[in-house]
Amino acid sequence: MAGETTAVTHIGINNQSDIHHSAGLTQVIVIVLMTLLLLTWLFFHADYVSEQEHIHYSQLLHDLRKAEANVDGEVLANRIALSRNYDALVVQIDKLTTISHQIINPPVFLSEKDSVKLIRQVNKVQLTVKAKIHLIDLFKRNNAILQNSLNYFHESSNTILDIKKNTSIIPLVESYVRHLMFFVQFPDQDSINDLQKTEQQLTFFSTQQNNQPVIKNLLQHGRIIQKYRLKVADQLREFLFLPSAIQQEELIRVYSQGHANALKVAEQYRMLLYMVAFLLTLYLAYTFIDLERTRRSLARAHREVSTRYQAQKQAEGLLKLHDTAFNSAHEGITLTDTDGNIITVNPAFTRITGYQQEEVIGRNPRVLKSGRHDIDFYRAMWRSILDTGNWRGEIWNKNKYGEIYPELLSITAVHDSNGDVSNYVAVFSDISLIKEQEQQLKKMAYYDALTKLPNRSLLTDRIIQAILQTQRSDVFMAICYLDLDGFKPVNDTYGHELGDSLLIEMSNRLQECLRGGDTVARIGGDEFVILLVGMDKIEEYELAMRRLMKAITQEFLIRGNSVMLTASIGVTLYPYDDCDAGTLLRHADQAMYQAKQKGKNCYHLFDPEKDTLARSQHERILRIENALKADELILYYQPKVNMRTGSVTGMEALIRWQHPERGLLSPIEFLPFIEEHELIVQVGNWVIETALTQLEDWHSSGLDFQVSVNIASLQLQQPDFVEGLKSAFARHPDFDAGRLELEVLETAALEDIVNVSRVIEECHELGVSFALDDFGTGYSSLTYLKRLPASTLKIDRSFVRDMLHDPGNLAIVHSILGLATAFQRHTIAEGAETQEHCRLLMQLGCQTVQGYIIAKPMPADKVLVWVKSWQADPSWKAYQKLYWSDADYPIFAAEVEHQSWITVLVHSVNENLPMTHKRVSDEYVCRFGQWYYGVGQQRYKLLSSFAQIEAPHRLAHKLAEKIEYYCQNGDFKSARELLPELLMQRDGILILLKQLSMDVALKLE
């Protein structure tokens, strides 16, 4: 419905503008209701002409006519005796009456005018109907009477005519009857006249004839007939002339007109309704457009608001962030106004100063004044702020509890949009900790972190103080530069942690050795300086040194292993060495170096007079450099021979300095000075170069052997070492790289095992082999050995030299050889001094040997000659084709052991020394005996040489016992008498052992 949409539209529109006023709402309701009413009214009128009503009324009008027609019909039927009772007539009249009553209510849709017209007409009709009904009523009566009389007249006249057949009355009666009948048929005036004439005649005659009742009756009925016939005729005429048809037609017409008028009106209302609906639709469309527009603008506004809201939210977020920053900052923040009064502070402020926010708001920060700063300080602060807008610095403030603490404070002036100062912002942090740390650092500046000993700076300070002090009095002081020997390997072996604890322990021990005014300082990794002051006698310092040495060399227990360290100490005495603190330290350092050179584990006093080291290191180096340049350096060569093959395998190049003044200097007299200097690299390169040249030279002479060149550790650590080799080979293209062997000290190699291994491998790729020199002297683990891919191990001379007499050394040599076998390395024994050495070495399995027994180092030009003339010692022949299994080693061990044991005994006896060594034991229990009666028995019992040993062995023991016995009793003489026999026995054993060894020897094929 139109009404509904309008209502909705109105709601839509009005709700947009109506925000919160209920008055607006009432307005809406009113408008809506009114519109609805209008539309309803219009529709009501448009639909006014009810079809049903029209039909109903039309039907009524129709029924009226029908009823009337029926009534007419019945009346006529009764008149002509078609209907012989009045029931039907009554019914029809009833119907007619009813309908005529019903039509009085015109249909509602008729206009006032038309209604009135209609009603008027209806009234007319009703009157007519009433009249009709009345007439009919009369007719009923009259007709009944008429019929009755007609019936009787008929009968009566017949009777008379029959009775009075031949009387004279008959013609009159006949005439009367005829006329009456005629009259009944045609009741007009003429027939009445005629009838009345006849009637008169008959009446007259009747009275003449004594008024016979029959005639009287006839006349009576005749008169009734006349009367009622006329009545009926009149009534019928009246009845028929009633204008009911016309009236009814008029009624219908009036009604139709009214109906048509009403329809027209309804049509008009419909048009109106349509127009209204049309207008409403337009309005609706307009409203929708407006709505859309509004909606769009609303959306726009919403978007705007949204954006603004977003921005605000962002700002809020930022604000929150700032707030968070403010509140969670670790530094205290104070916000003041232009007068410096606090507006707000953050929680950190409270944390640092102890003041809650409420306690300081409105107050000035000067409540924090500590009193440590003078007024100028604050003035300067504020001047800075006013001039530059900020101030930053350290300030001492007082917190709530009265404690003074340092602050790192920064004050900034905040300006508003006009450029005027609006606030001051102070940001500060409590730097108590920092200050503490400063102190700590200051402290640390003077003390070593690990050992807490004074460091170099403090030491220098102390030395200066001590110098002043010593100058004042008649005493001297000692500056001792202490370097721990072999600390590095320990560090490597046991780790830095334990190394550190070792250092701490060491420093403790050192401190314990000192007196009050003395100082021990740590100035390097394993370097200490001890300052001894206030001594008058030399002995004092010597004692101190001995004490120190003792303390140092005491065992350290590390992880259950005992480690022994030694130290090299260089000492200089002031005022004998009259220099400044720095120079004194240097001299001490030099002296320490000397001590190291002397073999470590000792102390060396700096001799200012002698001063072989007076020359500065630099001068020395220069000197050597010159020597190098001036070709004062030369190479000597010591041959290495293979005892089995009896051939010279190679040469070891050894550097010599042909010093113009001092003569031929061995390496130890100049190399140590440059070992830490890069000059060593140049020297090393020269050595290689020279060696290569020399080899080439020899090669061209037909000599084809390998040369070993010593390489210093510094040279080996050079990053371009291998490159240098390559270029050297490039310079000597004929030289076969495989002929070059580089010897590095085992100890040197261990210093930087990773790099050294790499270099060795790189050299391997070139073909150059490596040998570990002085093998066995370094504190190395077997892991290192595994890792160093040196192809040759050179058994240090120290082991080889004494291996004939020292079972320990023999064991070392044996084990080195074993190691070498296990790791598949070559071996060469250094320091072979006798043929016995050679023999034993061969027997132990060492083929190659280098030593004085073979040749001393010789200059290059002597080499050729020597090589040509050298021959293998004949004693070697016996052993060249033999080798011994490891299981036979105890034979050799036994040899050496016996030698040593008896030698010691003999020595003691000869020297009248008390028997300090272990008592010689039973021949079964002594080491040899253990072997002999144990493994030896199992292995060698079948051998005669083995069996024969028993007797002299036992005898030897017996003799030894006797000798011991004598010695214990002081009877050295008797002891001495037994010696020759003992020796004889010993020799016998040795010969037998030798024989045994030959017996068990395996043949080389």
Partner 1 sequence: MASRKILFIIIVIVITVSVLLVYQKNQPSNELQVQSTVLSSIKPYNSEQIQPLPVEMILPVEKVDLGRRLFNETGLSKDNTISCSSCHLLNKAGTDRRPVSIGVNGAAGLLNSPTVFNSAFNFAQFWDGRAATLEEQASGPIHNPVEMGSNWQEILTRLRADDGYQTLFKKIYQDGISVDNIVDAIATFERSLITPNSRFDQYLRGNKIALTEDEQQGYQYFKDYGCISCHQGINIGANMFQRFGVFDGYFNNKTISQSDLGRFNVTGIEEDRYVFKVPSLRNVAVTAPYFHDGSVSTLENAVMIMGRYQLGRELSEEDIRLLTAFLQSLTGQWQGKLLQ
Q: Which residues bind partner 1 (CB under 8 A)?
A: 1, 3-4, 7-8, 11, 15, 22, 25, 28-29, 32-33, 36-37, 40, 43-44, 47, 50, 52-53, 56, 70, 73-74, 77, 81-92, 94, 97-98, 102, 105, 134, 137-138, 140-141, 144-145, 147-149, 151-152, 155, 217, 220-221, 224
Shortest Cβ distance from residue 222 to partner 1 (Å)? Answer: 11
Taking the least distance from each CB to partner 1, the nearer of 157 and 590 is 157
Q: What is the Cα–Cα distance from 639 to 850, expressed in whole angstroms?
A: 7
How many angstroms separate the Cα of 489 from the Cα of each of 676, 747, 758, 796, 924?
Answer: 19, 9, 20, 19, 41
Nearer to partner 1, 50 or 553 (CB): 50
Among candidate residues 154, 136, 233, the one with its CA nearest the CA of residue 192? 233
Rounded CA separation 673/736 (Å):
33
Give the pairing of strands 706-711 and 663-665.
Answer: unpaired
Residue owning tokens 């100063």:
353
Specify the residue, 280 or 785, whose C-beta has the smaller distance to partner 1.
280
- Least separation in angstroms between CB 200 and partner 1: 21
By C-beta, is 160 or 989 nearer to partner 1? 160
> Rounded to the nearest whole angstrom, what is the least distance from the CB of residue 52 to partner 1 in the complex?
5
Smallest distance, partner 1 to C-beta of residue 163, A: 16
Q: How far apart are the first and last CA of the chain?
A: 131
CB of 195 to partner 1, least distance (A): 19
Give the nearest distance from C-beta 151 to partner 1 in angstroms: 5
Compute the least distance from the CB of residue 411 to partner 1, in Å.
58
DSSP string over 176-207: HHHHHHHHHHS-SHHHHHHHHHHHHHHHHHHH
Q: How far is the CB of 142 from partner 1 (least distance, A)?
A: 9
CB of 74 to partner 1, least distance (A): 7
Question: Which phi and psi (to 5°) does residue 387 adopt?
Answer: -80, -55
Q: Which is nearer to partner 1, 36 or 119 (CB)?
A: 36
Cβ pair 853, 959 in contact under 8 A: no
CB of 328 to partner 1, least distance (A): 45
Of residues 272 and 858, the one with the C-beta less far from partner 1:
272
Structure tokens at 577: 């060495």
Nearest to 407 by CA among 442, 365, 344, 357: 365
Query: Whole-number minimum distance, CB 273 to partner 1, in Å?
Result: 12
Taking the least distance from each CB to partner 1, the nearer of 37 and 951 is 37
* Nearer of residues 22 and 417 to partner 1, judged by Cβ: 22
Q: Between 163 and 318, whose beta carbon lies closer to partner 1?
A: 163
420: left (phi over 0), alpha (psi -120 to 50) or beta: beta
User: What are the angstrom distances between the C-alpha of 721 and each of 114, 706, 746, 853, 867?
Assistant: 140, 20, 18, 35, 32
User: Of 610, 613, 565, which Cα lies nearest the Cα of 589?
Assistant: 613
Pairing of strands 332-336, 342-345: antiparallel
Contact 373, 395 (CB under 8 A): yes
- For partner 1, the closer of residues 52 and 562 by Cβ is 52
Least distance from C-beta 164 to partner 1, angstroms?
Answer: 19
Nearer to partner 1, 25 or 955 (CB): 25
Q: Which is nearer to partner 1, 115 or 460 (CB)?
A: 115
**Are the CB atoms for 922 and 957 separated by under 8 Å?**
yes
Kindly give the residue spans of alpha helices, DSSP state H, lying in 522-564.
538-553
DSSP state, residue 935:
I
Contact by Cβ (8 Å): 333, 347: no
Contact 263, 49 (CB under 8 A): yes
d(CA 291, CA 466): 104
**Burial of residue 874 (number of CB atoms within 10 Å: 0-12, 13-18, 19+):** exposed
For residue 572, give Cα distances in angstroms to 183, 400, 409, 603. Answer: 202, 59, 52, 11
As measured in angstroms, the least distance from the Cβ of 240 to partner 1 is: 19
Nearer Cβ to partner 1 (136/909): 136
Instruction: State the CB neighbour count (10 A cutoff) for residue 41.
Output: 13
Nearest CA among 554, 660, 572 for reference residue 608 = 572
Q: How many residues does the chain have?
A: 1005
Q: How far is the CB of 217 from partner 1 (least distance, A)?
A: 7
R_g over Cα of the chain: 80
Q: Enter the DSSP assignment of 363.
A: S
248 Cβ neighbours under 8 A, 6+ residues apart: 61, 64, 65, 68, 125
**C-beta of 416: minimal distance to partner 1 in Å?**
46
Instruction: Give whole-number Cα distances, 36 to 11, 30, 96, 252, in Å.
Output: 13, 10, 45, 37
Q: Which helix (H) or strand (E) holds 1005?
A: none
Tokens 């003339």: give the residue: 869
Closer to partner 1 by CB, 52 or 869: give it. Answer: 52
Q: Which residues, at least 6 apart from 815, have a Cβ–Cβ distance to it below 8 Å?
A: none
Strands (E), 613-646: 633-642
Nearer to partner 1, 215 or 544 (CB): 215
Give the nearest distance from C-beta 235 to partner 1 in angstroms.
11
- Shortest distance in whole angstroms from residue 138 CB to partner 1: 7
| Residue number with CB closer to partner 1 (69 or 181) | 69
Q: Compare residues 143 and 507 and give the one whose CB is closer to partner 1.
A: 143
Which of 152, 576 has the CB closer to partner 1? 152
Cβ atoms within 10 A of the Cβ of 77, count? 15
Shortest CB 77 distance to partner 1, Å? 5
